A and B are shown apart, each in its own frame.
Chain A
Amino acid sequence: MINYQFDAEVLDITENRDGSDTEFNIKLHQEQPYLDRLRLVQHVFDDNKDYTDVLFYAYAGHEYKVIVRQEHYVDFVTELWKARLLRSLEWNEECWDPR
């Protein structure tokens, strides 16, 4: 749906589609300021009134699993980009419709 780029020296992001969810695995290679930025993204989704839109699970070594409901996929990657955890975002070919 969306192509994104990140700095592989700072973090790794992988994603798997699981039914109506997408599971992101995020591993931070550098703690600061990226950990605070990721917490800021978590805060955005924890603070709203939708309890299952985006769920964060923290593991040792700054590894995170994030379960994202399909309809919130774009919101989530956009928040990552706004927190400058992604370098760029673009619609992929099948979603791009300039009209």
Chain B
Amino acid sequence: MEQQAYWAIGIFLVIYALIISEKVHRTIVAMLGGVLMVGFGIVNQETALHHIDFNTLGLLVGMMVMVSITAETGLFRYIAIWAAKKVKGEPVRILIVLGLITAFGSAFLDNVTTVLLMVPVTFSITRQLKVNPVPFLFTEIIASNVGGTATLIGDPPNIMIGSAVKELTFMSFISNLTPIVVIIMLAYIPILVWMFRKKIQTTPELKESLMKLDNSELITDHKLLGKCLVILGLTILGFFLHQSLHLESATVALAGAFLLLLLTGEHTMEKALSRVEWTTIFFFVGLFVLVSGLVETGVIAQLAASAIKWTGGDPLATSMLILWLSAIASAFLDNIPFVATMIPMIQEMGQMGVQNLEPLWWSLALGACLGGNGTLIGASANLIVAGLSGKEGHPIRFIDYTKMGLPLMLLSIVLSSIYIYLRYLM
């Protein structure tokens, strides 16, 4: 390897360690890492910009704008309360339906956005029933990471994989990942019920009080809701058809976002754009440039060659290595930088003669998304829910979370291993 490759590895490792240490905000660290790659001449500015995946960024921005406007209508609160009433205010059933709503929401929205929409209504329902909110919040964390795995737009790793591999369309994510996601959710539900059933008991009077709630009061702006539903519907239709329309997913999401802003007027724009998580967007920008240093200096190619040598290029061994390594790494590290590093490595494996990359991509998606359930620091949604819960007087401790989350994560990876083997490698 050339001298520049050693510089690139050094910068990458220092930045990665700083991201893990959480001493400085990860966005600042990643952006500084990107600047160092350019500053040290490892990549020039033009090459660095070429490595920034604007499809990933556009998709995230577009979805964040649409969700922030839709949240103003009270729709998500309405759905949660409606579902709680449908199950007659029974806490165990509410635990299941809130988990399913979170999983479904996370499949089409960013996980963090979904849990931010679900947490307030969860507090509202559990306070009404006078039950501990933690079992519900834990279920939502788990469901958000599982649900987010189901589609191209559900979780940042999938957005990044879908963006990097043009053949993997919105529909191929659904047809390949949704079946295993459904299996995992079906396996989780009885376990979660068994774990929490005794901790979430309430009285018939409190259930009755919840049943009498007037849902109609929850929708605050019917006109705006109509516009949001039309645009969200068209956007999701656009995702299904994006390949036939020869459009990137970011074009679909941005078209939806700005059409909605056109319909809702300028006064909505300022608020909606201010609610875009710009820190996340710049985190991605920094990471793309950081990883570009490893790609351009041939480090990624070397890593791919080593992995192929280690597994002998055997599809089963390589898939399992990627699946389990991604899951374990994602349980303790941020899955976004991990996936940003793994994508060029898998692409390199293709160039080195590995014929069928499909099981490798799905292994990466499953490992990186589901691995986030392993510990409290495994995914942003976990930390956000735990932070909000702690702030409201119900702390979720790292060790308590891990005792419940890690076995569930391992179960999902065992199920995924069987699925990958049976569907692609048998």
A residues sitting closer than 8 Å to B (CB atoms) are: 39, 46, 50-52, 55, 57-60, 65, 67
Contact B218 A51 (CB under 8 A): no
- B70 CB, nearest partner CB in chain A, Å: 16
Among A50, A55, A57, residue most surrounded by chain B Cβ atoms (within 10 Å) = A57
Nearest-neighbor residue (CB-CB) of B217 within chain A: A58
B392 near A51 with CB under 8 A, answer: yes
Interface segment among B12-20, B117-125, B175-183, B256-264: the answer is B117-125
CB distance from A44 to the nearest CB of B (A): 14
Tell me the smallest distance from the CB of B384 to a CB of chain A, in Å. Answer: 12
Nearest CB to that of A60 among chain B residues?
Answer: B214
Query: B392 and A57: CB pair below 8 A?
Result: no
**In-complex Cβ contact of B212 among A39, A46, A51, A59 (8 A):** A59
Closest to B77 in A: A46
Contact residues of B with A, CB < 8 Å? 119-120, 123-124, 127-128, 209, 212-214, 217-218, 220, 388, 391-393
Hey, which chain B residues are within 8 Å of A46, CB to CB?
A: 120
User: 10 pairs across A/B with beta carbons < 8 Å?
Assistant: A51-B123, A51-B392, A52-B392, A55-B127, A58-B214, A58-B217, A59-B212, A59-B214, A65-B209, A67-B128
- Cβ–Cβ contact A51 & B119, under 8 A: yes
Enumerate chain B residues within 8 angstroms of A52, measured Cβ to Cβ.
123, 127, 392-393
A-B contact count (CB 8 A): 33
Contact between B128 and A57, CB atoms less than 8 A apart: yes
> Closest CB of chain B to A1's CB: distance in Å?
21
Q: Are B123 and A55 in contact (CB under 8 A)?
A: yes
CA distance A58 to B216 in the complex (A): 9
Query: Separation in Å of the B390 CB from the closest CB of chain A?
Result: 12
Residue numbers in A under 8 Å from B391 (CB-CB): 50
- CB pair B213–A57 under 8 Å, yes or no, is yes
Distance in Å from the Cβ of B267 to the closest Cβ of chain A? 16
Quote the shortest CB–CB distance from A37 to chain B (angstroms): 15
B209 to chain A, nearest CB (A): 8
B124 touching A55, Cβ below 8 Å: yes
- For residue A67, which residues in chain B have a CB less than 8 angstroms away from its CB? 127-128
Contact A51–B388 (Cβ < 8 Å): yes
- Taking a contact as CB atoms under 8 Å apart, the answer to whether B123 and A59 are in contact is no
> Which chain A residues border B124 with CB–CB below 8 Å?
55, 57
A50 to B392, CA, bound (A): 8
Measured between beta carbons, the chain B residues less than 8 angstroms from A55 are 123-124, 127-128
The residue on B at minimum CB distance from A58 is B217
CB-defined contacts of B218 to chain A, threshold 8 Å: 58
A residues near B209, Cβ cutoff 8 Å: 57, 65
**How far is the CB of A11 from the nearest CB of chain B, in Å?**
16
